[in-house]
């Protein structure tokens, strides 16, 4: 199995609909031993059953904005594993009000929260795990097309994802000194807990399904398998990359299809003017 003998940490899993769950599942099925984190008591009740599903009792409390938690995490990983081989960073947050209205109205407080939790957490987490991460290991984070492109209602989170993708490149250089790779997956829209905070998300799902080259939306399992590849030795020569797993939607420069007044899907150039 591809991940046999590998040990990894999954940070930010919320439930079995999470993209991080799909990555954890793919890694587990290929032989990896996993540890998990939870943000608070409410999420602990969701995370522990998931850890048990993947034959793990390694579950740690972690608020990525709390330096004491990060320090404790390093000690726990060293005690339980000695060394690990990979880390999945699946952490993002912006106040709900910052995902509505116009981006220009974003408050300083909301901006700082989004950047600190969604971007700096990758930097601080990477630094925290360096003492226990094996040379040749891998760090993976999750981004979205709303970083390099405008996506309705994504607002400050889009700016945060753009900064996250830049952080991947800079971290890739720093960590490359130890042959540690840093990459990001840009998944297409999926019905997750995080996505529920984005306005008109159903419309975004429908638009992607209609216009993606594969004519459908991506699944959590598909993203999970791509994540497993980037975490594995199969991707030993890949770092600093943003890998799109979105059924090809990111290549489109124009909507290929839409719906006419009768609700029927038609190619854009066939629609009535």
User: Three-state SS for 71?
Assistant: helix
User: Of all helices (H) and strands (E), which one includes residue 266?
Assistant: strand 265-267
User: Three-state SS for 237?
Assistant: coil
Residue of 38, 60, 154, 244 with catalytic role: 154
**Which residues does residue 265 pair with via DSSP β-bridges, in sequence order?**
259
How far apart, in Å, are the Cα atoms of 143 and each of 47, 74, 75, 108, 164?
22, 25, 28, 22, 7
Please check whether residue 12 is in contact with residue 62, taking contact to mean a CB–CB distance below 8 angstroms.
no
**C-alpha closest to that of 146 among 133, 159, 137:** 159
Going by the DSSP 8-state scheme, the letter that residue 240 receives in this structure is S
**What's the rounded Cα separation, in Å, for the pair 16 and 250?**
26
Residue of 21, 60, 144, 244 with catalytic role: 144
Please check whether residue 142 is in contact with residue 230, taking contact to mean a CB–CB distance below 8 angstroms.
no
B/e letters for 97-134, b = 16+ CB within 10 Å, e = fewer, are ebbeeebeebeeebbebbbebbbbbbebbbebbeebbb
**What's the rounded Cα separation, in Å, for the pair 34 and 227?**
14
> Annotated catalytic, 154?
yes
Question: What residues are annotated to the active site?
Answer: 144, 154
């Amino acid at each position: 199995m591809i991940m046999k003998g590998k040990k990894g940490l999954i940070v930010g899993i919320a439930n079995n609909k999470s993209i991080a769950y799909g990555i954890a599942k793919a890694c587990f099925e290929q032989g990896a031993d996993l540890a998990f984190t939870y943000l608070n008591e409410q999420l602990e009740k969701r995370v522990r059953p998931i850890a048990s599903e993947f034959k793990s009792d390694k579950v740690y409390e972690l608020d990525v904005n709390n330096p004491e938690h990060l320090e404790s995490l390093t000690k726990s990983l060293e005690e339980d594993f000695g060394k690990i081989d990979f880390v999945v960073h699946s952490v993002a947050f912006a106040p709900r009000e910052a995902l509505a209205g116009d981006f220009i109205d974003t408050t300083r407080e909301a901006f700082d929260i989004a950047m600190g939790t969604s971007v700096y957490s990758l930097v601080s987490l990477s630094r925290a795990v360096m003492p226990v991460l094996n040379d040749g290991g891998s760090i993976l984070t999750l981004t979205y097309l709303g970083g390099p492109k405008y996506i309705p209602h994504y607002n400050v989170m889009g700016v945060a994802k753009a900064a996250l993708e830049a952080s991947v490149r800079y971290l890739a250089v720093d960590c490359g000194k130890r042959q540690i790779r840093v990459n990001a997956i840009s998944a297409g829209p999926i019905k997750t807990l995080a996505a529920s905070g984005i306005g008109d998300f159903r419309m975004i799902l429908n638009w992607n399904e209609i216009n993606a080259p594969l004519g459908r939306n991506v699944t959590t399992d598909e993203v999970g398998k791509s994540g497993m590849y980037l975490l594995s030795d199969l991707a030993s020569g890949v770092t600093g990359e943003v890998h799109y797993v979105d059924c090809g939607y990111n290549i489109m420069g124009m909507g290929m299809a839409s719906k006419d007044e009768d609700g029927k899907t038609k190619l854009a150039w066939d629609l009535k003017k």
